[in-house]
Amino acid sequence: MSKRKPFIAGNWKMYKTSFEAVETARKLVRILKGINHVDIMIAPPFTALAAVYEVVKESSVMVGAQNLFWEKEGAYTGEISPGMIVSSGCRYVIIGHSERRQYFGETDCNVNKKIRAALNNSLVPVICIGETEKERDEGDTFNILDKQIKMGLEGFSPDDLKHVILAYEPVWAIGTGKTATSDQAQEVHRFLRSLIENLFGKKIAGSVRILYGGSVKPENIGELMLMPDIDGALVGGASLDAEKFAGIINFKI
């Protein structure tokens, strides 16, 4: 297991009304009282951010948003600015999730602008990257990840990289019940760390946290966390249930 502090994040996607999100957050805070061996973040829908923050602000649970727009303000109907997210109590923001890329046409160029906007507003971006099943079957995994990293992080400095988290999410494992084996995930995480070293130096590569995402459950988190280059998880479905999510956070290795 790595020496970097583990980071476990829950992406609630388009689930939970504000009331439901508050109830789940309350339960989480109660179950996780006294937990400090791991950094914990939950990303409720925009409509619940401020309400959830009020519930968790005195606890070890932090709040993140699922997306942002790169402009400060303007005539961008339906979008959310970095300042709006910060004012809701967020410290983190998920950027470039495969569902954003797949359903809303988000590109590496968009991702790059969103990362810059997050950093300019003191938000920690959780940057998602990953290949589809077709790309994996064609042996294209590393080429796809290389492109996503290089284009997504173009123009950034080693100092910028001190404030980002990467999340490797093989698209074929998100919400499918399929999970990369711990060895498969480690192989990719090792590649990503070496790529960051080539681009930003050994020190940054050694400190940046790289999460795994894709059907993470209490039953498989321990095996994943044994791997030297896996520093935590970005959890989807299992994070919607407070007890299951707590089971992931309290992983045993």
Catalytic residue check, 71: no
Locate tokens 């300019």: which residue? Answer: 120
Phi-psi region of 252 (alpha: psi -120 to 50; beta: other; left: phi over 0): beta
| Choice among 99, 131, 169, 189 that is catalytic | 169
Of 231, 208, 235, nearest to 219 (Cα)? 235
Angle at 248 between CA 244 and CA 250, to 5 degrees: 110
- Residues 154 and 116: beta-carbon distance below 8 Å: no
Residue 210's H or E segment, with its range, is strand 209-213
Helix (H) or strand (E) run with residue 42 in it? strand 39-43
**Would you call 187 a catalytic residue per the annotation?**
no
Burial of 174 by CB count in 10 Å (0-12 exposed, 13-18 middle, 19+ buried)?
A: buried
Residue 225, SS3 per DSSP: helix
For the record, the structure tokens of 47 come out as: 């409509």
CA distance 110 to 36: 34
Residues identified as active-site = 97, 169
